[in-house]
Structures are given as structure tokens and as C-alpha cells.
Structure 1
Amino acid sequence: MAELPSPPPVYFIVNRLLLPGFQELAAQYNHVNQPLTAPVFDPTNKGQLWVIASLEKPTTIVPFHRRDEQAAAHELRPPLPEPNFVIAETAVRPHEWLIRSEDPDKPLENVRIIDFGKPVGKPGEIWGLEKPVPGEKVALEDDKNRLDQRWDLRRVALPE
């Protein structure tokens, strides 16, 4: 039986900086003390998955050890068939994006998507936002400006 290829690495992104030396800090960081609070997504559109976590910690990247099946399932989910949201404009802070809903029945104004050091996308780029738990209402942004882990964010198309 052929051995399955290793899945791409998944990281916690705790700060928008990505600097040399932080890998060592990440190796000492226990992810159990920093619960998954944001969607797994593919910022480079090259199959490498990342996780945005709280901005309250000084650590920048933390490898995510796949200890629960729900988080690992993000990697197996196919791209969304249709875009759900469009990045509408940049916010005041660098590397922070506002998205608007293309569905008038699902208004989600001023939802923040925080990047890890370089722009994730540009105004007008199409992104999809998937809810893997059907029928469960989950806030996209809590009082600490974090996206919920039960949402899967991915760029699904580029504007013409």
C-alpha cells in the first residue's frame, strides 16, 4: 500500500509579524493553552493552511498539532463552489480587511480578517466563508476581534 503524502503544515498565527527566531519560541509554546479561535485558511492559495489566533500573545507562529478531527477536517474540505463574500476595503490598521456579504439575507458588515504580515488579498478579491457545523449559529467575531474556529475562510476566485 502506498504511503499517503504528509499534510501541509498548519500554524497558529498570533501576531502579524513573521520573523526569524520565532520558530524556536513556537516550539516551546503549548497550543492547548491557546485554543483554536480562528478559521483554517490558505493565504497563499498554494495549499498551505494557516490558522489565525489571538493577537494577545507575543508568539508569532505556532505549529498546530492535529489533536482533534474537526480541525484536521478543514484540510479535506473542497473549495467552495461559489463566493460568499468580497473584500470591500482595507481598515485603518495595516493588514486588516473588511469584508461585506454578497448575500443581502446575511449581512456581515465590518468583519475583520487579520493577516500575518503581508496582505492576504486585495479589495474586490473573492473569498469564501464556510460554516462546517450546519444549523449552528456562531458569531464571526467575538469581543476580542477573533474569528471563530468553526468557520473556514478561503479565496475561491479572483476578479476579472
Structure 2
Amino acid sequence: IYDFLEKSLIKFSEKTAFVEPFSKERKEITYKDFDLFSKKLGSEILKTLGNDNPTQTPILIILPKGIDCLISFFGVALSGNFYTLLDEKSPKERIEKVIEVLKPKLFITSKDLNFNLDLPTLYTQDFESFNIDESLIKTAKEKHIDTNLLYVLFTSG
């Protein structure tokens, strides 16, 4: 999936990749910046999980649909791990049940949502401050195989 972004980046670097037309303040991001933030987050995920971390670690994302959520998807994919997305309005019981089954090693959310889960947490507000580690990303890409998980969906039933 990340190859798709890299190909688009070459062709459309300065063009708008995504827009949030209905957010409080219209938000948009170029392919170049989307790639930058995805790499920053992917690197931070790998640093947070540590060098002894095997690939394919579950990561829980609770965010509204939007640019930060998409960056989270691509950052997780780039790190060689997989994610589950839950709606920010999910009941506490559902979140707890998903955590019980998924056993995530990391949580990505927004400080604005006020989630306090007993998990290492990365916040969308900090994405900009993360640093890119190309060697960690390269290693994660080398470990990737086409049968790796990307996304786990928990249905309501």
C-alpha cells in the first residue's frame, strides 16, 4: 500500500492528496507532506515498540475519519505492523473488549478525545515533532511480505 503513495509522490508531490472539507477549519495536505508525516509516524512507532519488536504488532487507532487517521493508517503500514480502527464514539465496553481480543501494543489517538487507556500512546498533535529514521523504515520494508496483515476489522456482532 505504501508503494502507491510513493508512486503518487513522484508524480504529484505538491498537489493536494486529501481534504477535510467539513472539518471546523478546512484541512488539506499535499502528497509530499502526507509522505513526510507518514514516515515520521512510522519511525516513531518503530522506536516506541523497540528493536526487539517483531513485525506484525497490533496497533489500536481511535480517531475521527480524516487526514490524521489516514496518516495513522500509512504510518502503521510503513512500520510493518497492523491496525484496528475504532470510532471515537465507541462505548467503553466495546473498546475494552477489542483491547482484550486484539492485545494492542500501541495506541494512536488525539489528546482532544481524552482517552486514558493503559497502553503506550502516540498523539496526533505530536506527529510534527517526530523524527524520521530511514534505517528503521528500510528494515521494516525489508521484513514485509505480501501476506502480512494490514487491518483487522471488529464487527458489531
TM-score (norm 2): 0.25
TM-score (norm 1): 0.25
Structure 1 or 2: more strand by fraction:
1
